[in-house]
Amino acid sequence: MLFMVEMDVNIPLGFDRDEADRLKAAEKARFQEFQKVGTWRHIWRTVGQYANVSIFDVASNAELHDLLITLPLYPFMTMKITALCRHPSSLHEDDR
């Protein structure tokens, strides 16, 4: 199942800078793990915001939930999740 996940990150202004840097590095490592196995298919930065739009390929809603809550920055995120399916007018037979 494909899902579009819009993630907005809001780390409080007074949050410890060293801890924020540690969490950001851990977030990048976790993302790259999911990307290597094909679970986190795409990521795009939202211009001018600390936010992204990502495409996930998982077996179920529960799998997506379990994945998202493991993200180190999860406590600072607001997410909008949209289930996706192939459009019948698409020229492509795959999920590009």
pLDDT tens per residue across span 51-84: 999 999 999 999 999 999 999 999 999 999 999 9
CATH of the domain at 72: 3.30.70.1060
Inside any domain, residue 38: yes
Question: Measured in whole angstroms, how far is the alpha carbon of residue 55 from the centre of its chain?
Answer: 7
- Give the predicted TM-score (pTM) of the model: 0.89
Inside any domain, residue 24: yes
Number of domains in the chain: 1
Sorting pLDDT into bands at 50, 70 and 90, what band is 96? low
Inside any domain, residue 90: no
The torsion of the CA quartet 45, 5, 21, 72, rounded to 10 degrees, works out to: -160
Domain containing residue 6: 2-84
Inside any domain, residue 95: no
User: According to the model, what pLDDT value does residue 86 have?
Assistant: 81
Inside any domain, residue 19: yes
